[in-house]
Amino acid sequence: MNKLIAARAAAVFTAAVLTACASTGRKDNGEGDDIGASSVTAEPVMINAETAKADFAALSTEKHGYGQGVQVDESNRTVGALDFNNTYGKYNAKAINEDTDKITLTFDQGYENGYTAKILDTLKEKKVRAVFFLVQDYAERNPELVQRMIDEGHQVANHSVHHYSMPSLAPDTCRSEIMGLHEYMKENFGVEMELFRPPMGEFSEQSLAVTADCGYKTVLWSFAYADWNVDDQPDPAEALEKLKNAAHPGAVYLLHSVSATNAQVLGDMIDGIRAAGFEFN
């Protein structure tokens, strides 16, 4: 990226972050921790719409498919997640929390498979709050579960309207996929979401910049495993060991609520990770 493009990208990102900090309500989790929070307060910075479009157009649209990989550092943190932070943090994006040792549990909610209520029961019993990334169809079809997430102190987050691959979309369409669900949740549940997970973990520099310009922080993950195939669920005992052994400072776990295995082992996983000396957000 040449100096002109870098300068334009920095301007877009700075304006987006300042605008978001000034206009978006932030809530902590009762313990002073909020992975979507910022300590910066500023007046919104206005940028010309045509200039913004030109800046987005200057950014790469190359599609990247995220994966945390298997290589870890001396603290058991996945190197792929740390590399993502280093490369794309300028777009208000991260895959691991480097400012806390606490672990964040996140669940992607593509559709309901009958296990979310059990997952919520376990989280309530264990006094753990999680982040649930919703697509709009899920919120429309399961308002009682979504309201329960909110009422029990969990953070509902944005997984787009239609679950499209974000780097395949024009900037305006990318924005509508984020803000369409944002407005739906605001109007129907009274919440303003602030975290976004791109569907399938696919992104480009341009899509990350557009997301930041919407006032959102992109959150990927530092641990995930093959839990999404409802017809080929992992063995519970093996999954439990894998989940416990993956614990690391600042971890962001990606789990799918359609998984019978996850619903079965979640309580033991939380207990095992706590026994290893970690706590959850």
Active site residues: 108, 256
Cα-to-chain-centroid distance, residue 178: 13
- How far apart (Å, rounded) are the C-alpha atoms in residues 143 and 125? 22
| Cβ neighbours, 10 Å, residue 147 | 15
DSSP assignment letter at 134: E
105 burial (CB, 10 Å; 0-12 / 13-18 / 19+) is buried
- Token digits for 104? 């964040």
274 burial (CB, 10 Å; 0-12 / 13-18 / 19+) is middle
Encode burial over 51-62: b for 16+ CB neighbours within 10 A, e otherwise. ebeebbebbbee
- How far apart (Å, rounded) are the C-alpha atoms in residues 143 and 221? 26
For the chain, the 3-state helix, strand and coil shares in percent, each to the nearest 5, are 45, 15, 40
SS3 10: helix
Could you tell me if 128 and 161 are in contact, meaning their C-beta atoms sit under 8 angstroms apart?
no
Spatial CA neighbour of 256 closest among 91, 113, 108: 108
Could you tell me if 163 and 199 are in contact, meaning their C-beta atoms sit under 8 angstroms apart?
yes
